[in-house]
Amino acid sequence: MTNVIELDNLTVSFGARPILKGLSIALAGRAIGLLGPNGAGKTTLIHTLLGFHKPSGGTARVLGFDIRRDAISMRAGVGYMPERDAYIAEMTAVHLVRLMAELSGIPSEAALERAHEALFFVGLGEARYRGLETYSLGMKQLAKLAQSIVHSPKLIILDEPTNGLDPPARRRMLDLVKQIRDSGHARILFSSHLLRDVEEVCEDVLILRDGQIASYVNLEEDRKANEGALEIEASGDIDAFALALAGRGCSVTPAGPRRARLTLGEGMTATQVFEIAASSSAQVRRLVPKRDSLEDIFHKALVNGRGSL
């Protein structure tokens, strides 16, 4: 699969304050999640890719176009659903979506036809002539999705698409995004603070921390690589138990009070864990297979710490 976004030592500063700090990575997934705590640089990265911020150093390529030299060509192939509403007063949904299509270079008559199609696709066909100010939050989000796809972009950037939605509206939005993903017509960059939404929609995840790349993982590959991981809860002399496990080649990562994630050493079995516990004056209270959730991956990327049980 070809790269959809390439970052080449991308640096962005606001005055003397660095926001993005030399990001270098190639992103090639069908649906890429963009995660990070507040202030990590997610929105700045999106706005820089769209040309709203000028890089202080390095560059990036979107759909093969350099954002410094080929910004206009790049934008023609990108759809953007912003986090904040940006409507023109007293405009109907069909008028807005048609205008966005025209601004993307589509002739007026064809733009109107596409606007109708996009609004029917997101489920707003019956309400397309209503003023946007009369829309509910969920309907406004769907209208923003419609304007982002009306010109058939090759990359769709979605910034907090489910923010504030009730469960039915959230389900509708996620189903639409997955339908777009599975169609193969467009790649998706999905930024959200809701880990469960990213986990449901995305195959790859880029995690930022303090303007730097903390992790980039393919979720399925990461889980396959950790199929031998166990979750363990123990009591007794847990420090001696942890040292004994490490001495047998096991990897031990704390996961809470007296709980840890355990990756067995080569050739080891779960039965031997109980034997090591007994010889270390510890007792295993719980030992179950552990499949990493996106929350686990996110936590490890941000904490990056290892320690005793």
CATH of the domain at 268: 3.30.70
The domain boundary residue, chosen from 222, 253, 270: 222
Whether 180 and 58 map to the same domain: the answer is yes
Q: In whole numbers, what is the pLDDT of the chain averaged over residues? A: 91
Q: Which domain holds residue 16?
A: 5-222
Domain-embedded: residue 36 = yes
Whether 49 and 72 map to the same domain: the answer is yes
Over residues 232-256, the mean pLDDT reads: 87
Domain-embedded: residue 295 = no
Answer with the residue of higher pLDDT: 306 or 76.
76
Q: Are 134 and 140 in contact (CB under 8 A)?
A: no
Q: What is the CA radius of gyration of the chain?
A: 24
Would you state the structure tokens that stand for residue 257, as one six-digit string? 């009070």
Whether 78 and 203 map to the same domain: the answer is yes
The 8-class DSSP code of residue 177 comes to H
pLDDT in tens, 134-187: 999 999 999 999 999 999 999 999 999 999 999 999 999 999 999 999 999 999
Handedness of CA 160, 165, 170, 172 (dihedral sign): negative
The domain boundary residue, chosen from 206, 222, 238: 222
Whether 232 and 196 map to the same domain: the answer is no
Whether 161 and 14 map to the same domain: the answer is yes
Give the pTM: 0.80
Tally the domains of the chain.
Answer: 2
CA distance 262 to 254: 9
Whether 133 and 238 map to the same domain: the answer is no
| Band of residue 308 on the pLDDT scale cut at 50, 70, 90 | very low
CA distance 283 to 88: 65
CA distance 32 to 56: 25
Whether 92 and 200 map to the same domain: the answer is yes
The reported pLDDT for the residue numbered 6 is 97
CA distance 205 to 218: 6
**Taking Cα atoms as reference points, which of 144, 34, 10 lies closest to residue 86?**
144
Whether 175 and 258 map to the same domain: the answer is no
- CATH number for the domain harbouring residue 94: 3.40.50.300
Whether 159 and 136 map to the same domain: the answer is yes
Whether 109 and 193 map to the same domain: the answer is yes
Whether 232 and 218 map to the same domain: the answer is no
Angle between helices 137-149 and 167-183 (to 10 degrees): 10
Whether 207 and 259 map to the same domain: the answer is no
Domain-embedded: residue 305 = no
The reported pLDDT for the residue numbered 304 is 66
Would you state the structure tokens that stand for residue 217, as one six-digit string? 């993982």
- How far is CA 157 from its chain centroid? 11
